[in-house]
Amino acid sequence: MVRKNTAHLLRELYKTYLYARICEFDRTELQQSAVIFAPHPDDETLGCGGTIYKKKQQGADVKIVFMTDGRNSHGHLMPPAELAILRANEAIAAAAELGVAEKDVFLLGFTDGRLGDYETPAIDRVTNILCDTRPQQVFIPDMYDRPADHQATYRIVNAALARINFPVTVYEYPVWFWHHWPWVSLPLKPQRSTLALFRNSLAAGFGLQLYHRFQHGVYIEDIWQHKQAALEQHHTQMTRLQNKPEWAILADVCNGEFLNCFFGKYEIFRRRSINLTNNNNKDVQLNVETATSYLNHGKK
């Protein structure tokens, strides 16, 4: 109980400090065009759902690109091809809840869990999308998000950005960053996942990295219901299909504490502005190398 109370107190302290110093998106930034890159269907809503909704309210042109087909999230309980179709439909439905029309949704369809095997064609596809849409903003997973498809998405989009010839502001959004103490509690009894959770916590400075990495945000407390409605469209991730108790859902992760992290006052981002016409492709490469080094260190 003491450990749980300590985690709760630290969360509240961290949030108070973060919200006091966050640089909130202004109206002009909300109105700027954007492309959101999601490793899997649901990442767009978890990390950026409120931001997407608010941008659409301001008349922004927003596209969502889903990198993988999500076929393997529950592939042991449902034929992967069937699951991929369900998740594609869920992605389109969630986008609609956020105000994004189906014509502005790109389903690249790379195999869930194996995006890294398709980096070359994925870079080509992403480059074409960026050149066709010429967004003012690009949203990608946090450079330190650990799942392989999140890392691959980061690398792929940065490689594509190095090919374009127009300026863009990049916003990195956290998803699995939140999977560390004190944002989620350590199990009272050691489990198979306890060591990984502890490593995540250590790498994130037990929450202190929050201030160093994420200094920009969009206020979403007033539109939680719209974000929740979009998230609920991802039925395969939010409800136990076929009445199977073994069908894992997001609410199962750390007894719901993980999911709660996405319903704070703000969606937070790490921002960097790049103008690749000025040979800033070296900066993009440095970011990728830094992330790779960090992630490899965390595995030791």
Q: What is the pLDDT of residues 242-284, one digit of tens each?
A: 888 999 999 999 999 999 999 999 999 999 987 655 444 444 5
pLDDT at residue 195, rounded to an integer? 79
Say if residue 230 is exposed, middle or buried (CB neighbours under 10 Å; 0-12, 13-18, 19+): buried
Percent of the chain whose pLDDT exceeds 70? 88
Task: Give the integer Cα–Cα distance in Å for 184 and 206.
Answer: 11
- Supply the pLDDT for residue 279: 43
* pLDDT for the residue numbered 85: 98
169 has pLDDT over 90 = yes
Dump pLDDT digits (tens) for 232-246: 999 999 999 988 899
Which CATH architecture group holds 2-298? 3-Layer(aba) Sandwich (3.40)
Whole-prediction pTM value?
Answer: 0.90
How large a percentage of the chain has pLDDT more than 90? 75
Q: What is the pLDDT of residue 294?
A: 46
List CB contacts of 121: < 8 A, sequence separation 6 or more.
none
Q: Give residue 154's pLDDT band: very low, low, confident or very high (50, 70, 90).
A: very high
CA distances from 45 to 12, 60, 95, 163, 299 (A): 23, 17, 8, 28, 28
Query: pLDDT band at 8, cuts 50/70/90?
Result: confident
Question: How much is the mean pLDDT over the chain?
Answer: 90
- pLDDT for 186: 82
Check pLDDT > 70 for residue 219. yes
**Range 87-99 average pLDDT:** 99
Provide the pLDDT for residue 209: 85
Which residues are CB-contacts of 289 (< 8 A; sequence separation ≥ 6)? Answer: none
On whether the CB atoms of residues 50 and 222 are closer than 8 A, the answer is no
pLDDT score recorded for residue 35:
99
Three-state SS letters, the chain: CHHHHHHHHHHHHHHHHHHHHCEECCHHHHHCCEEEEECCCCHHHHHHHHHHHHHHHCCCCEEEEEEECCCCCCCCCCCHHHHHHHHHHHHHHHHHHCCCCHHHEEEEEECCCCHHHHHHHHHHHHHHHHHHHCCCEEEEECCCCCCHHHHHHHHHHHHHHCCCCCCEEEEEECCHHHCCCCCCCCCCCCCCCHHHHHHHHHHCHHHCHHHHHCCEEEECHHHHHHHHHHHHCCHHHHCCHHHCCCCCCHHHHHHHHHHHHHHCCEEEEEEEEECHHHCCHHHHHHHHHHHHHHHHHHCC
Dist CA 231 CA 242 (whole Å): 19
Q: Is the pLDDT of residue 296 over 70?
A: no
pLDDT of residue 205: 87
Token digits of residue 60: 């922004």
Which pLDDT tens digit goes with each residue over 18-35? 999 999 999 999 999 999
List pLDDT tens digits, range 179-211.
999 999 887 666 666 778 888 888 888 888 888
